Amino acid sequence: MTKIITIDGPSGSGKGTVSRLIASKLSFNYLDSGALYRALSVSSARHGVNLWNIKGLVDLVEHMDVRFEMDDGNFQMFLDEINVSDEMRTEDAGVRASKIAFYPEIRESLLKRQRKFAFGVGLVADGRDMGTVVFPEADLKIYLTASIEERAQRRYKELIDKGEDVSLRALAKQVRDRDARDMNREVSPLVAADDAVTIDTSEMTVARVLNSIFELVHAKRLI
């Protein structure tokens, strides 16, 4: 049976970096559920489908060809055989994805696709409702969090390093607004599963977070 580890949490909590490293270390499959929503946001922009056109968005979900690849620990995403890794990481794609994820019809449409990633030896699933909705039977559930200030600072550094001109204050507002959307939506709100282990990464290095999670992995005898 496929062993499943879910890592949920808000934007900027470090779940993406940590999830990829754990999946690589354990040789498990990797699901970045947020990337699927970002892929849909990129696809909608390319096809001229408005964010309020729910039927049009559902049609895109059913027909878009998405695959993930790990290249020496680097995550790559292909949409209709085109590498869109850089495009999906833009702030605009993230904001559009958050708005798309608000629709119950879109979340339901993507649910079956997400569950198909659970095959083989194991899966590390990264998202916002992996442990509560998509894989409620997961062997280990982690919920990563961090302060709004720290998450905004991390995103600021990431974008500055890419040469983008951004405002830390504006990013903090975006983080706060996204939290509100994610935590208050009617379907699959962002919340820690009752049986999840919560880790606050505000003052932790990636190495410390990984060590904490691997201790849990060993305790659960997942390797």
pLDDT tens digit string along 24-55?
A: 999 999 999 988 999 999 999 899 999 999 99
Mean pLDDT computed over every residue of the chain: 92
Q: What is the CATH number of the domain that holds 158?
A: 3.40.50.300
HSE-up of residue 162 (Cα within 13 Å, Cβ side): 14
Number of independent structural domains in the chain: 1
Q: How far apart are CA 179 and CA 222, in angstroms?
A: 31
- Report the DSSP beta bridge partners of residue 7: 126, 142
Q: Does the pLDDT value for residue 139 go beyond 90?
A: yes
DSSP annotation of 196: P
pTM value is 0.88
Q: How far apart are CA 158 and CA 211, in angstroms?
A: 23
- Structural domain of residue 201, as residue ranges? 3-219
* Local confidence band at 8 (pLDDT 50, 70, 90 cut-offs): very high
Q: What percent of the chain has pLDDT over 70?
A: 99
